[in-house]
Structure 1
Amino acid sequence: MERLQEIISTILTDDQPTVLATIVHVDGSAYRKEGAWMLLKEDDTRLGVISGGCLESDLHNRAQGLFNTGKTDVFRYDLSAEDDLGWGRGAGCNGVVTVMVRAIDATFRKALTFLNDQLQAKQPVYYMQSMKDFNMYSFISRSGAKFGEVNDETRPELDTATPFQNIAGQVTVCDETVYRQVVWPKPNLYIIGAGADARPLARVAGNVGYAVHLLDWRESLCNELYFPTAESFQLGDLEKLIGNIPFSPLDSVIVMTHDFQQDIKLVQSLCSFQLLYLGVLGSKKRMKRLYGGEVPDWIHSPIGLSIGADGPEEIAVSIVAELIAVRRGKMT
């Protein structure tokens, strides 16, 4: 999912012929699961991966016959045999991977434009694709906005779905096989405090797919020079800044101002929002003083997984690992 919106944006801004590969079914184990996307362009560039390198070359060759055709095809790769040299040296993944490969035409570009608009509005979108008639597909947002003609009353309730849960795969609807996927918006990470230790954190988080936003009162630190991959910068009184942000349950926030008095006010304000992740830099003792008592389990402090990290770079890795674990539902 980490490059999905980048793939969509590339399709919508690049007019050259492109092919979209999507894993629609996995039987057994595989490097990527259902819902993984990869873009193949006519100039031989690729975006995203659907395997550890086993399938990309073959899909690239198959894409050559699909560019500019508007056609869709499905390919099944059996990677289960360790002595099967069909993919080079024997993949040994013990899985069978089914990939749908679609040449992007004008109609599907319109569908992706709709999808992109909903994702930009922080709306998760339910994607449904007939596996019998590839021209039959629909995108339906949580608010009920829709593109396409396929109806599915069995679609999951997006209001109650666990944020960023991987909902993807094939199901049977009215005796027909249908591929379904929930496409989640790009996760936002708000870093409050633009000190030197925030720089590797912003970089690592951006590399794994977060839209990183910096908030600080110091223009000399909170800028593109130190945070070249950040999507936005907000300068000024921090309490006022966070009060103007429409936080959602899909958003993550990390407080790292190194200012105790300021952190007290920020934590009090942020606790009024429903967030996916709230982390505060510092020790447990410091956090108890900030919070004024026993700290709730849903506030992460100290932040980061306990991996013995030392220094800004390693600590950044531990923090992003914790962000991923929370987003994947591996910890609260």
Structure 2
Amino acid sequence: MRELDAIINQYELLKNEGTQSVLATVVHVEGSSYRRAGARMLVDEFGNITGAISGGCLEGDALRKALHAMYQQKNKLITYDTSDEDDAIIGAQLGCNGIIQVLFESLNYQDQMNPCELLKKVIAQKDPLAIVVQFNLDKIKEQYGTSMIIDEKSTFWGKKPEQELLEQILEQSQLVLKENQSVFAELSLHKETSHIFIQIYQPPVKLIIVGAGNDAQILAQQADLLGWDVIVTDGRPTHANKERFTSSCQVIVSKPGETLENIEIDQRSCFVLMSHNYNYDLAVLKLLLDEQKIPYIGLLGPLKKYQRMLDDLKEGGFELKDEILKKIHAPVGLEIGAETPAEIGLSILSEIQSVLTGKTARPLKEKSTPIHEKKDNQFKKVNVKLN
């Protein structure tokens, strides 16, 4: 289960029990930090925590700040400076060397537009969304908090700001959705300055495993731990059944030519063909060649198997365009010396992650620049024009 799903599940329990709670969100990071902007945790009145905003160094003090915000029923912005090695509050001295802004929002269960109600809508969507969090680095100013979610059609849910401000937020949100990159902006309106964090939300990766062997079982478990949506399909009911796979997996028994009939494909749908049956895998691959949205197709097995498939496809009259061939990864996975099914699963999932994020998968020690680009943390200055 993904962290955001766990937070919303816990929120529902607390709401039903009438237990007060606060949502803490990292809204900006300058420098290094274990968690980036968009990390969240839910704190209840008894001090129980769901989620995390750091590697553990901030949670203790953040719990106290959350309870204080709960007592005052007021949003609060707190700054943590992990570059101060003498800071006894943080204490862990992890050497992150960053300045972290955390927004604490007390949750009103009667408000159908409170932050967690908006996030509940977010996790129910199957398309990318922009999550808008309004705050102010001048802590004496009002901290509006998580206020809106916006889709690719500029449809929004939440608390509508002034029209001029809304227009700028919608414009910036469309850039976020187009570029798949969160943004920080400093907005000026009526000589007042406020800040917004517009977070890109991508729905879970959908991993479709073709084949229900023992190695597929392990791969499904590993993907489930990542919070991915897993679908397993195979023609053998003895293998493709709920007893063999985690409860969250969708298991489909079908002939290879019918594989896609019960699967909704989107831009996060990744396929791994590992039935250990050449003809079965080939038949499914033929179906996938016409699916433009698919970003990744992995084929388990040696290179000669893939080369044989290409020959058979050409003889069958299939057009193998470069844009399709670039999506096919055969043999599947990164070269990490994988031998066991679990190691092979790690290799496959790592490759899928690198493809979806557009990263090189090289060792971080070979990277001469910071892990996270500093330009991504800069506030874009936007002057809101009055109509």
TM-score in same-fold range (> 0.5): yes
Structure-2 residue corresponding to 1:77: 80
Moved more, 114-123 or 257-266: 114-123
1:9-88 alignment, distance < 5 Å: 9-15=9-15, 16-67=19-70, 70-88=73-91
Q: Does 1:283 align with 2:302?
A: yes
Residues 206, 229 of structure 1: 8 Å contact kept: no
Residues 150, 170 of structure 2: 8 Å contact kept: no
**Equivalent residue in structure 1 for 2:151, among 141, 145, 165:** 141
Structure-1 residue corresponding to 2:171: 154
1:197 CA displacement: 0.2
Q: What TM-score, normalized to structure 1?
A: 0.89
Deviations 1:76-122 (A, max 9, x none): 00001334443224232111111111122232656644543454341
Where does the alignment leave 5 or more consecutive residues of structure 1 unmatched? none
More helix by share: 2
Size of the alignment, in residue pairs? 330
Tell me which stretches of 4 or more aligned residues in structure 1 moved more than 6 Å: none
Deviations 1:48-75 (A, max 9, x none): 2221111011111222223376421111
1:240-259 alignment, distance < 5 Å: 240-259=258-277
Cα RMSD between the aligned structures? 2.6
Q: Secondary structure of the equivalent of 1:32?
A: coil
Structure-1 residue corresponding to 2:223: 205
Alpha-carbon distance in 2 for matches of 1:89, 1:304:
36
Alpha-carbon distance in 2 for matches of 1:111, 1:182:
16
Alpha-carbon distance in 2 for matches of 1:81, 1:125:
36
The one-letter amino acid of 1:101's match is F
**Equivalent residue in structure 2 for 1:120, among 124, 128, 138:** 124
Residues 20, 70 of structure 2: 8 Å contact kept: yes
Change (3 A) 1:320 1:135: same
Q: What TM-score, normalized to structure 2?
A: 0.77
Alpha-carbon distance in 2 for matches of 1:229, 1:48:
22
Alpha-carbon distance in 1 for matches of 2:205, 2:286:
23
Change (3 A) 1:229 1:166: farther
Q: Between the two proteins, what is the percent identity of the paired residues?
A: 29
Residues 76, 96 of structure 1: 8 Å contact kept: yes
Where does the alignment leave 5 or more consecutive residues of structure 2 unmatched? 137-141, 315-319, 362-387
Deviations 1:139-180 (A, max 9, x none): 112244321203114324379635xx4515444354431221
Structure-2 residue corresponding to 1:92: 95
